[in-house]
Amino acid sequence: MRAPSQRLPGSAGFSLVELAIVLLVVTLMLSSLLYTLSAQTEQRNFEDTRRRLEQARELVLAFAIVNGRLPCPATAASAGVEDPVGGGNCTTPYGGWLPARTIGFQTTDAHGFAIDAWTNRIRYAVSATVPINSDAPRICRPLVNPAPPPNFLPPIAPHFTDRNNMKLQGIDCQPSDLIVCRSATGITATACGGTANQIMTQNLIVAIVLSTGKNGAIGAGGIDEAANLNGDQVFVFHVPAPGGAANGEFDDQFTWITVGELYGKLIAGGVLP
């Protein structure tokens, strides 16, 4: 009968316990590496999307200099073209998409819509109203037969998406609709629910370019993200928040154009005096 084999002193080999420890260490190292790569990918997508939003913003301003007006948003049926073509009364001023084909934005999906780094369509909103019937300096000047203040006749609308109206009314008109809030708590369809909740007031912003982030249009059921997708003039912006935050997950990214910047570009370009 053969004697059972025994490990000789100094011979090579691992016990089961030693193998288990090695496998555990390798698993932990791989997990750490995968987490690092995932975090780097998310950061890269975030920065890439930020660059795309800034590029879109510059293209919107370039369009305004060339055409003397802001473009209208694209709609679901317009394949990345502003709706209506030629501007005027926009079909969907607050709930549409960036008109990629109209402004020359190159990174699009198969249907012609601008996309962010997560392939979600980039959204775009434009001011559709201006203040009326007031003698405040920010109000549009009356065009014909002005009545004594504060009963000026209402200005021709729309203003910012109509080349002729922009030329006629000049830089007297200010926006009175788009507003950015810190939180969706207490907001209405037209206001932030108090000045403490405002980031940008209703007479400052003429256009907003928005990415819905990694979670896209689905989000996590949070009211802050939902406020950016309901098609009204009120938007919410703050730093990213996880799913367990008070108002739900938030990873939307923003950029906007102020009325002063728009008029400054048009004056510098010789479009408006």
For the stretch 226-247, pLDDT in tens is 999 999 999 999 999 988 899 9
* Domain-located, residue 273: no
Selection from 159, 175, 157, 162 nearest residue 84 by Cα: 162
* Domain-located, residue 64: yes
* Domain-located, residue 5: no
Tell me the average pLDDT across 48-74. Answer: 97
The number of distinct structural domains making up the chain is 1
Using pLDDT thresholds of 50, 70 and 90, give the confidence band for residue 17: confident
* Domain-located, residue 89: yes
Which pLDDT score, from 0 to 100, does residue 136 have? Answer: 46
Sheet with strand 198-200: strands edge to edge: 198-200, 179-181, 234-236
* Domain-located, residue 179: yes
User: pLDDT, tens digit, for every residue of 23-47?
Assistant: 888 787 777 666 676 768 888 999 9
What's this model's pTM, rounded to 2 decimal places? 0.81
* Domain-located, residue 3: no
* Domain-located, residue 6: no
Using pLDDT thresholds of 50, 70 and 90, give the confidence band for residue 76: very high
Instruction: Look up tokens 């209703």; give the residue.
Output: 202
Give the span between the Cα atoms of 176 and 141, in whole angstroms.
15
Tell me the average pLDDT across 247-252. Answer: 93
Phi-psi bin for 179: left (phi > 0), alpha (psi -120 to 50), beta? beta
Range of the domain at 172: 16-268
Higher-pLDDT residue of 123, 22 = 123
CB 83 within 8 A of CB 74: yes
User: pLDDT, tens digit, for every residue of 99-121?
Assistant: 999 999 999 999 999 999 999 99
